[in-house]
Amino acid sequence: MTTLFEELKRVKTFEYTQEDVREITELHSEIRELKRHRNAVVVAHNYYRPEILKVADFVGDSLELALMASEVRDADVIIFCGVHFMAETAKIVNPSRTVLLPNLLAGCQLADSAPAVDVEKKIAALRAIHPDLAVVSYVNTTAAVKALSDIICTSANAAKIVRSLSSNNILFTPDRNLARHAAEQVPEKNVIPWDGFCYVHQQITPEEITKIREADPSLKILVHPECRRDVALLADAVLSTSGMVRYAKENAAERYLVVTECGLSDRLAMEVPDKTFVKGCKLCAFMKVTTLEDVRDSLRDLKHEVIVPEEIRVKAERALRRMFDVEKGAVSAPGDATAPRCE
């Protein structure tokens, strides 16, 4: 049985001393007691700080967290250790629960790159040209943009969602790299990308990856689809973060280059200690801004509550539920006779 200190010592993004671990252990005990008192669950994205992952009730990628949030029944409070759009998503699918974002600075540059007012104008312009236009929005969007969308996708299911649509013309917001990745897998569709990108993944270059691979040819290279095409072409597999976790656990290879935000390498280092995870990654300031103290304070003081106006929430939930239906095989996709049209 490994100790918390031994697990955290495997993490290379941060350095943990014995004193750090003592303080973390005390905060973990305090948080667990507050969770019982508040009847709360703590969920955390793969990119979060390791000490937060260790106290979370559920850890996953955007799709896993959205599905989990939609199925919370027993808890009164959801502490969402992610960024703002993720907490909004939890509130959209579970409006009767109190959803808290521990730190208001946990925003998302990618979501901010597609303001709802601009997306609405783009939809109107494109529908004048393509009357069958469907709008697919990455989960990394605001609630207001989700409300304008026909269906939502994540990096794990983008191609599957695009393929499920009866429409031939699809506006894909906001990530141009994920749009390109989906379009390559579903070439029969006309995928029109919004010109946004994740700054974390965009700054990873093929030169960096090639240099690491040349130094260690045995590496399996796992690349996130938010990365540039010239980086994706170097991959052994292009996968969502949840897909990377499964691949690393199930594949026989012993050494991996994980090309995404560095938090995933930290999770893998703790969960798969018999394998090596080399970093070709960058830090997301928004994912790292939340501390364990923020989580404790959020539970203690019930801050900061996420509110989604009902007229936006209902439309956004419809788009999210369509994604869930595709995932479960009960497809009623936009453009089908049985599916109501988003206005």
User: Would you state the pLDDT for residue 219?
Assistant: 93
3-class secondary structure, 64: helix
- In b/e form, how buried is each residue of 11-20, taking b as 16+ CB within 10 angstroms? bebeebeeee
Q: How buried is 250 (Cβ within 10 angstroms: 0-12 exposed, 13-18 middle, 19+ buried)?
A: exposed
Q: How many residues does the chain have?
A: 343
Segment 213-266, tens digit of pLDDT: 999 999 999 999 999 999 999 999 999 988 998 999 999 999 999 998 888 888
Residue 66 in this model has a pLDDT that exceeds 80: no
Domain 110-197+309-328 and domain 200-285, same fold? Reply is yes
**Residue 194 per-residue DSSP state:** -
**Residue 288 per-residue DSSP state:** H
Mean pLDDT of 182-186: 96
4-106+288-301 has which fold?
Answer: Rossmann fold (3.40.50)
Give the mean pLDDT of the chain: 89
Residue 187 CA, distance from chain mean position: 25
Mean pLDDT of 299-313: 97
Residue (of 211, 224, 219) closest to 281 by Cα position: 224
Within 8 A by CB and 6+ apart from 76, the residues are 38, 39, 40, 97, 98
User: Would you state the pLDDT for residue 334?
Assistant: 45
Q: Which of 284-293, 295-304, 308-317, 321-330 has the weakest average pLDDT?
A: 321-330
The CATH number of the structural domain formed by 200-285 is 3.40.50.10800
Per-residue confidence band for 15, with pLDDT thresholds at 50, 70 and 90 = confident
- Gap between the terminal Cα atoms of the chain: 55
Greater confidence, 208 or 337? 208
Mean pLDDT of 135-161: 96
Segment 321-338, tens digit of pLDDT: 999 999 888 544 444 323
Q: Where are the domains of the chain?
A: 4-106+288-301, 110-197+309-328, 200-285
Segment 35-59, tens digit of pLDDT: 999 999 999 998 898 899 999 999 9
Q: How buried is 120 (Cβ within 10 angstroms: 0-12 exposed, 13-18 middle, 19+ buried)?
A: middle
Specify the pTM: 0.86
User: Would you state the pLDDT for residue 5?
Assistant: 53
User: Would you state the pLDDT for residue 204?
Assistant: 92
User: In the CATH hierarchy, which top-level class contains the domain 110-197+309-328?
Assistant: alpha beta
Whether the Cβ atoms of residue 101 and residue 306 lie closer than 8 Å to each other: yes
Segment 108-131, tens digit of pLDDT: 999 999 999 999 999 999 999 999
User: Would you state the pLDDT for residue 11?
Assistant: 61
Amino acid at 249: K
Interatomic CA distance for residues 183 and 194, integer angstroms: 13
